[in-house]
Structure 1
Amino acid sequence: MTDLLIVGAGILGLSHAYAAARRGLKVRVFERSATPLGASVRNFGQALVTGQPPGQMLELAKASSGIWKHWAQQAGFELKANGSLLFARTALELELLEAFCAERAPQHDYQVQLLSGADLNDLYGGQFRHHRAALRGLQDQQLYSREALPSLIRFLQQVLDVQFHFSTLVRGIEPGRVSTTAGDFNAKQVVVCSGHDYQTLLAEPIAALQPQICRLQMLRARPRFKLDLQHALLTGLSCVHYGAFADLAQAQALKAQLQANSPHLLEHGIHLLISPTPHGELIIGDSHAYGSDASPFNAEQVDNWMIELAEHTLGGRIAVVERWQGVYGSGGPGPFSLLQVAPGISAALMHSGVGMSVGPALAEQHIARLLEESN
């Protein structure tokens, strides 16, 4: 008898599978495609603690950090655990980072260092000396999602005996049963981790959340100069978007400055993230467009703005080798929802782009709660 059926093999689905299987439950996972193709493989692979707002999201990110370390060791994928660098390019961005380090970081135990002067010049042989400072997030980690998720799936299959059904569409759910293109399956619990698909399953309870879809433009590039990047990179632009910084007075001043000088960045939700891959390439983005559907059409001007930001931040030229659309669930009543739809049927949905950062620990909490309620 299967104990748990999971719909979706993205990071939330895999995290739920791990949380349940390590507790001794028999688990099956259903994925409509032959391999995960949604938000969990289209992203930067940044498991960020530093950007999370104080409170629940920060604690989930801290707990998830330890889970990622365990997975990397057990599943054998590369995890860069030497932190992130957030560059201050202007006087106002530097003022913002100084305020964060003076008050919020010690109050909420963000493990950070503010690098300037000789410390900044020592980074990558002085490659980033044109910035005013760098906030190093010591707890932040980075992985290459396209390789890490398949490795995690193999670990779940081979070590924890999780059964996967790929290229299998789940067409219907009722308590204790799911109907799929591979037949019907029974279990005590069903958890739907359907990403931004709000219509195939549980459409009515999900619609009540008023979710949206966020669409991103992203790039993969090679530097045209020597750079062995080992950190995830951000700039002060991210401070306008991330909850760890966004409510600070300096962040509001920065937003006003951007509105006056670079309104196109706010209009298209552009803030720079750069992640190194294990193959010497860089994942670069991103923009943000929100709606009920993800338009298939990219704007070349948006890509050009991101390339310009990336080349200034890196201090050198890049060559784009690939472009794609990221996509994730947005809107909703908060950063995520855990729905109890019916006895034995629940759903876990992210409404923000931090599933990699908080998903592992969120699933641990959800599975623990489901098991407690079923006893």
Structure 2
Amino acid sequence: MSQHDCDLLIVGAGILGLAHAWAGAKRGLKVKVFERSHTPLGASIRNFGQALVGGQAPGAMLNLARQARGLWADLGQAAGISLHQQGSLLFARTEAEEALLQAFVDGRGEELGYRTELLRGDALNALYDGRFSHHRAALHGLDDQQLYSREALPQIVDYLAREHGVEFHFSTLVRDVESGSALTSAGRFTARHIVVCSGHDYQTLLADQMARLQPQVCRLQMLRARPSQPLALQHALLTGLSCTHYGAFSDLPEAEAIRAQVRREQPELESLGIHLLISPTPYGDLIIGDSHDYGSDASPFNAESTDRIMLDLAEHTLGMKVEVVERWQGVYGSRGPGPFSVTRAADGVTAVLMHTGLGMSVGLGLGERTIAALLGEGIWPNALAA
């Protein structure tokens, strides 16, 4: 047998690739991970680090997020990752947004066991010494978690290599995969199972199979900013704008009133796909975003007007000015046949892709279920099933 043989070969060291590597390594498999860049630089490293349960659509995504929550607790402790586990706060700014949150809590939230609470009055005013009392209400997502992706992913890589013997090949391009082997810029490697987690790269590997999914690329404008006043933020923050974006809320009848109000008063929010997210970093500054621009490729050009809209929303939500210290683009695969796809491209070759920006929320669960299916321990994950 070749010295390159392994049980499980993973293409991609984003959160999906690392999730599959961890799931395989825990089962005693010999695992190798290949990543074209010198360190993870894709969607997983550029995002908010929000692992949300409360915003997930009923069905497969909610179940995966609930499973991932427990896995994050295990992985966070094992790898030394700092997790904010105080939950998220989704603020209602308008009467329509408040009505939707109330309808969610009374209906779907109770029926499906979403762990949330609606804060008003004294409970709302008590948050951060009244910092957010200019809002009408806040939905506290009790199961939501948040981490700092830029540090968490390298910590996971280090943990998997050190404690599980996972072998990482960075700065190594995988040029082709077929049953039993992968051709890379460092030579050919053989494996019992190959899992391709290539993010929004739909052309390098399995191009024909991926084209049939008709996916697109989503480009996000992102910011890191320093608040003008001390703010020891411990929660991920969202606003009612997210209710038209996240599946837990977006199909509720009350969401239409929010959309109608946006179209009347700020139609650019819809055309630019803006809904405010704010995540704290360990260093006192805040990650702010985001906008959504869909297409076959990601334009390299950011619009300052889009950043300005997001900053205005953030400053209103926070009740203070912020100073931008960094700008970048997030890019992820989007608009496939569902929120994710698991495609068995050939004997022993599986492609696992996210078609939303929710990989941090569900990726650990998806990796666990896919590896279990590969080894005959469970059924294949299906975005259209629970």
1:168 aligns to what? 172
- 1:227 to partner: Cα distance: 0.8
1:94 aligns with 2:106: no
1:372 aligns to what? 376
Match of 1:329 among 321, 328, 333: 333
Note closer, same or farther for the CA distance 1:373–1:245 as it changes in structure 2 (3 Å cut).
closer
Q: Secondary structure at the match of 2:164?
A: coil
For 1:327 and 1:86, locate their aligned partners in 2 and report how far apart those are by CA, in whole Å: 24
2:322 aligns to what? 318
Which stretches in structure 2 are left out of the alignment for 5+ residues?
A: 379-386
1:264 aligns to what? 268
1:60 aligns with 2:74: no
Structure 1 residues 130-139 or 174-183, which shifts more? 174-183
- 1:68 to partner: Cα distance: 0.7
Q: Secondary structure at the match of 2:75?
A: helix
2:238 aligns to what? 234
1:139 aligns with 2:143: yes
For 1:54 and 1:178, locate their aligned partners in 2 and report how far apart those are by CA, in whole Å: 37
1:360 aligns to what? 364
- 1:172 to partner: Cα distance: 1.1
For 1:229 and 1:266, locate their aligned partners in 2 and report how far apart those are by CA, in whole Å: 28
Please list the CA deviations of residues 51-78 of structure 1 after superposition, one character each: whole Å capped at 9, or x if unmatched. 1011110010000001111111000011
Q: Secondary structure at the match of 1:229?
A: coil
- 1:174 to partner: Cα distance: 1.5
1:103 aligns to what? 107
Q: Which amino acid aligns with 1:130?
A: H
Which segments of structure 1 move beyond 3 Å, counting only runs of 4 or more? none
For 2:149 and 2:316, locate their aligned partners in 1 and report how far apart those are by CA, in whole Å: 26
Q: Which amino acid aligns with 1:100?
A: F
Match of 2:216 among 212, 219, 224: 212
Within a 5 Å distance, the mapping from 1:36-75 to structure 2 comes to 36-75=40-79
- 1:332 to partner: Cα distance: 1.0
1:127 aligns with 2:111: no
Q: Which amino acid aligns with 2:286?
A: L
Structure 1 residues 167-176 or 310-319, which shifts more? 167-176
For 2:41 and 2:47, locate their aligned partners in 1 and report how far apart those are by CA, in whole Å: 11
- 1:216 to partner: Cα distance: 0.3
1:180 aligns to what? 184
For 1:332 and 1:94, locate their aligned partners in 2 and report how far apart those are by CA, in whole Å: 31
Please list the CA deviations of residues 250-269 of structure 1 after superposition, one character each: whole Å capped at 9, or x if unmatched. 11111011111110000000
Q: Which amino acid aligns with 1:332?
A: G
- 1:226 to partner: Cα distance: 1.6
TM-score (norm 1): 0.99
Note closer, same or farther for the CA distance 1:254–1:355 as it changes in structure 2 (3 Å cut).
same
2:310 aligns to what? 306
For 2:372 and 2:355, locate their aligned partners in 1 and report how far apart those are by CA, in whole Å: 22
Please list the CA deviations of residues 240-283 of structure 1 after superposition, one character each: whole Å capped at 9, or x if unmatched. 11110011111111101111111000000000000000110100
For 2:266 and 2:91, locate their aligned partners in 1 and report how far apart those are by CA, in whole Å: 18
- 1:373 to partner: Cα distance: 8.2
1:293 aligns to what? 297
Q: Which amino acid aligns with 1:372?
A: G
Q: Which amino acid aligns with 2:137?
A: A
1:8 aligns to what? 12
Within a 5 Å distance, the mapping from 1:242-257 to structure 2 comes to 242-257=246-261
Match of 1:23 among 11, 23, 27: 27
1:149 aligns to what? 153
For 2:143 and 2:178, locate their aligned partners in 1 and report how far apart those are by CA, in whole Å: 41
Q: Secondary structure at the match of 2:193?
A: strand
Aligned-pair identity (%): 64
1:35 aligns to what? 39
1:338 aligns to what? 342
For 2:159 and 2:51, locate their aligned partners in 1 and report how far apart those are by CA, in whole Å: 20
Which stretches in structure 1 are left out of the alignment for 5+ residues?
A: none
1:222 aligns to what? 226
Q: Secondary structure at the match of 1:325?
A: strand
For 1:226 and 1:157, locate their aligned partners in 2 and report how far apart those are by CA, in whole Å: 38
1:76 aligns with 2:80: yes
- 1:325 to partner: Cα distance: 0.3
Q: Secondary structure at the match of 1:159?
A: helix
**CA RMSD of superposed structures (Å):** 0.9
For 1:242 and 1:208, locate their aligned partners in 2 and report how far apart those are by CA, in whole Å: 25
Q: Secondary structure at the match of 1:257?
A: helix
